[in-house]
A and B are shown apart, each in its own frame.
Chain A
């Protein structure tokens, strides 16, 4: 059965990422930074209905100067 994806998770391409940490400023709820400034992304799936989180994820994706971020849509735990 094909369900419409109802969860998302933010993903980073670690090779593109420059580690200046803009994403942390744009989406602090979803992105922490490590001691070297590289993003540690909240790995658990977030429901699409969490509109504020989805909005900050989109902000981070758009604000990333290297275009290293991506929102991956998946089916949540059934």
Chain B
């Protein structure tokens, strides 16, 4: 297989014993594509990302990642965990440096500080995660995942713990950070606004066992705003499909 796609899922199904979590997922993510996944709570979004990362295997079907026939963990993947997963025994800086052990000390420090500045936490470099708020921990997690320059970013509700202002700021920042890089992003969120703002492609998943019930390519042109006819149209449509899955009547 060539390098012309980042992630290819073919008939991916996942069960935990009796519990069916993913059912017949088929999708392709191109290099540089920003794919956003929405779906009811507990439907299997995190499970899906951990299969793409190679933490766990599909029960049937296959996931190709980059030039690998099967997904397996490695530095081609940056993972931002829903539960942060910062190392409590390392400082903020130490956490961001933990994926850069192959570099010289000075370069490692430079690179880590660069990404800490990007997420606005350079002043907290020497604090332990214990002292950070949920939103700050998430930003450290993002810096840690970006620092070693992975090809694919898997982000599990990375802005879930942020206040509305910081969240918007981080959405714009992420968009800006990724500009110019050919990174593919698989991004899970519960916010339709966030999805439309960030995505090239939006997927809506069904209740468990999750299937893809909706796929739409978002084309907002160069301008990204949170308003405008096109934007609101996308939002309405996605909301419609999502509500159908969560059982909310309109």
Partners in one complex: no
Q: Which residues of A contact B (CB under 8 A)?
A: none
